[in-house]
């Protein structure tokens, strides 16, 4: 028992470590069905935060005071899947999600945008836990999966967070894409950052 408990601090330290990310690094969010999602890091100074931050649901990155979180989700079967209604359903679901941790969080009115690859997306302002930022929702072309992204900046010690994120944050979020569905003959690459998506309901 002594040998086992002696290893717990080392395990906790491993879970809370961060790993530097080079500009151009690609992160993958693994889907149980359909296409995995991938996004590319734009800008320098990023770190990949430990898996305990978003266990089983996504990837969390840090860049100074910026916290960037990307989750791949599988909308429940009763979620509308048509191109006109799915983005709004995902946006409303993200609003409920951010209010779980902070009941006073506010997700503003979204506007339509496109990813760097031309996929339809929504983006809008986000305020939570005293920090300002932006959110994005990016459905997969087949509507099987979607990625929800939040990025917030709590600023420095002055207590007044910046109101706009650097443009490379937006480019990182909008780099999200969905390659061809992975098959059993095409397993994840060894050591590749991977997370599995939960099924979520927006009704």
DSSP labels for 34-71? S--EEEE--SS-EEEPPTTTTTTTEEEEEETTEEEEEE
Q: With 90 as the cut, is the pLDDT of residue 34 above it?
A: no
152 within 8 A of 128, measured Cβ to Cβ: yes
pTM of the model: 0.78
pLDDT in tens, 42-95: 999 999 987 655 545 589 999 988 999 999 988 877 787 777 788 899 999 899
Residues 6+ apart with CB under 8 A from 88: 110, 122
Cβ atoms of residues 153 and 131 within 8 Å? yes
Domain boundaries, the chain: 26-182
SS3 151: strand
Give the number of other CB atoms < 10 A from CB of residue 164.
12
Give the CATH H-level superfamily of domain 26-182. Mog1/PsbP, alpha/beta/alpha sandwich (3.40.1000.10)
């Amino acid at each position: 028992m002594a040998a086992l408990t002696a290893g717990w601090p080392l395990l906790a330290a491993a879970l809370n470590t961060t790993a530097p990310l080079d500009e151009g690094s690609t992160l993958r969010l693994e889907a149980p069905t359909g296409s995995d999602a991938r996004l590319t890091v734009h800008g320098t100074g990023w770190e990949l935060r430990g898996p305990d931050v978003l266990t089983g649901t996504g990837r969390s990155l840090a860049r100074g005071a910026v916290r960037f979180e990307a989750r791949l989700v599988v909308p429940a079967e009763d979620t509308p899947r048509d191109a006109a209604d799915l983005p709004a359903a995902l946006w409303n679901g993200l609003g409920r999600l951010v209010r779980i941790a902070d009941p006073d969080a506010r997700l503003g009115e979204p506007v339509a945008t496109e990813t760097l690859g031309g996929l339809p997306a929504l983006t809008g302002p986000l305020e939570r836990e005293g920090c300002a930022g932006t959110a994005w929702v990016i459905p997969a072309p087949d509507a099987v999966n979607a990625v929800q992204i939040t990025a917030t900046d709590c600023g420095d010690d002055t207590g007044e967070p910046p109101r706009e994120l650097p443009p490379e944050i937006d480019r990182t979020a909008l780099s999200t894409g969905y390659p061809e569905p992975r098959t059993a003959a095409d397993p994840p690459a060894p050591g590749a950052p991977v997370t599995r998506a939960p099924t979520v309901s927006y009704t």
